[in-house]
Amino acid sequence: ATASIAVASLIAVGPQSMAHASSASKVLVLGGTGFVGSRIVKKLNDLGIEVIATSRDGRDGTIALDVSTPGLDVMKTVENLAKGCTAVISTIGAIGTDQDLVINAATGSAALGAKAANVDHFVYISVAPEV
């Protein structure tokens, strides 16, 4: 259901429907192998939308992006990954780890990176308690 909500929100916003522009749409999904992210990736693929996905370790054909890596410039990394994308969906977040603050703050940096890449839409879905 969450994946459908995220995808529906992308389809419903903007000057043109992503459902009708699927061949020209590309979406970056941060956390694309997690519980929520994997469902979003599947839904986007089912709609024929090109997907770039990240995971902490690059599994399942994703791009490795561990936002807790010391010194990593998340904003610049996401800006580079998001070039040419119409949307970025962040599903990264943590509760109860010693890295919660770093991991949960990364979505803010990711939003700035998406903006710098001129991405039209940014969606954040997470378990982060800051929300």
**pLDDT per residue as tens digits for the range 37-79:** 999 999 999 999 999 999 999 999 999 999 999 999 999 999 9
Question: Helices marked H in 29-122 — which ranges?
Answer: 35-46, 74-82, 100-116
Among candidate residues 47, 42, 54, the one with its CA nearest the CA of residue 25: 47
Q: Which one is predicted more confidently, 16 or 116?
A: 116
Among candidate residues 128, 130, 126, 121, the one with its CA nearest the CA of residue 44: 121
**Integer Cα distance of 131 and 127 in angstroms:** 8
**Integer Cα distance of 28 and 51 in angstroms:** 6
Q: Is the pLDDT assigned to residue 14 strictly greater than 90? A: no
Mean pLDDT of all residues in 82-92:
97
Among candidate residues 53, 50, 59, the one with its CA nearest the CA of residue 24: 50
Question: Sign of the C-alpha dihedral, residues 22, 32, 68, 121?
Answer: positive
